[in-house]
């Protein structure tokens, strides 16, 4: 039987050769050793972008009118109200109506014409969750906040997680559709 020389392939490491560095000690693998494939290049993942589309919703308005009392008799769905798009950035997005006396303006200001009279000044907040998704929190608004056409308003100050495509209803006719991507 032939015995390989010290430091040769398969033999004990010689001077200057660390364990597992056979064939000259320059990081070459030992014969027969398996080498793990290089790991994937982990690009830093960007969080998903979320957007909100804000506009009047005829179906929501009609359901509100059926549930409302005589005080809503004079309300009409605006003939023209262009949809707004907003990218959701930061930790929270406030929803409400500008307070002219103090100048406080929410991130989504529903006081711009045509003003939705059913929206409170501090109506609701969209809050970013730790996983990058969003939740809606009603701020104890006068007329409540509903999600996806529900007749029951969400509980004040309790975050309600939102999914891609969910619709947040506030005021007399405003729907905010949340989209991921």
Average pLDDT, the chain: 81
Does residue 98 form part of some domain? yes
- How does residue 10 score in pLDDT terms, banded at 50, 70 and 90? very low
Quote the tokens at residue 77. 């769905």
Which residue range(s) make up the domain with 129? 50-71+82-180
Instruction: Give the residue among 22, 42, 41 at the shortest CA–CA distance from 31.
Output: 22
Whole-number Å distance between alpha carbons of 49 and 34: 42
Mean pLDDT of 46-59: 88
CB atoms within 10 A of CB 91: 9
Does residue 66 form part of some domain? yes
Mean pLDDT of 111-132: 93
- Identify the residue with better confidence: 53 or 80: 53
- How does residue 114 score in pLDDT terms, banded at 50, 70 and 90? confident
Does residue 15 form part of some domain? no
- How does residue 11 score in pLDDT terms, banded at 50, 70 and 90? very low
**Both ends of the chain: CA-CA distance in Å?**
67
Does residue 133 form part of some domain? yes
Whole-number Å distance between alpha carbons of 77 and 181: 30
Whole-number Å distance between alpha carbons of 51 and 13: 61
Per-residue pLDDT at 136: 98
Say which residues have a Cβ less than 8 Å from residue 18's Cβ, sequence separation at least 6: 25
Residue 131 has pLDDT above 60, yes or no: yes
Whole-number Å distance between alpha carbons of 42 and 102: 48
- Identify the residue with better confidence: 22 or 179: 179
φ/ψ (deg, to 5) at 55: -175, 170
Mean pLDDT of 175-180: 96
Does residue 159 form part of some domain? yes
Does residue 28 form part of some domain? no
CATH for 149: 2.60.200.20
Mean pLDDT of 157-169: 97
Does residue 39 form part of some domain? no
Tens-place pLDDT, residues 143-158: 999 999 998 999 999 9
* Tally of structural domains, the chain: 1
Cβ contact 56:78 at 8 Å: yes
Does residue 23 form part of some domain? no
């Amino acid at each position: 039987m032939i015995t390989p020389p010290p430091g040769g392939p398969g033999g004990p490491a010689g001077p200057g050769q660390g364990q597992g560095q056979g064939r000259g000690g320059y990081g070459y693998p030992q014969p027969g050793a398996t080498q793990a494939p290089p790991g994937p290049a982990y690009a830093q993942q960007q969080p998903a972008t979320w957007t909100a589309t804000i506009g009047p919703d005829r179906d929501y308005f009609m359901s509100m009118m059926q549930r409302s009392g005589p005080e809503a008799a004079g309300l009409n769905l605006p003939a023209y109200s262009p949809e707004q798009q907003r990218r959701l950035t930061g930790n929270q997005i406030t929803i409400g109506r500008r307070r002219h006396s103090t100048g406080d303006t929410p991130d989504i200001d529903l006081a711009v014409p045509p003003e939705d009279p059913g929206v409170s000044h501090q109506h609701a907040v969209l809050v970013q969750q730790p996983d990058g998704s969003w939740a809606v929190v009603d701020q104890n608004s006068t007329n409540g906040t509903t999600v996806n056409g529900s007749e029951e308003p969400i509980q004040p100050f309790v975050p309600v997680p939102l999914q891609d495509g969910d619709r947040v209803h506030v005021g007399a006719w405003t729907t905010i559709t949340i989209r991921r991507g």
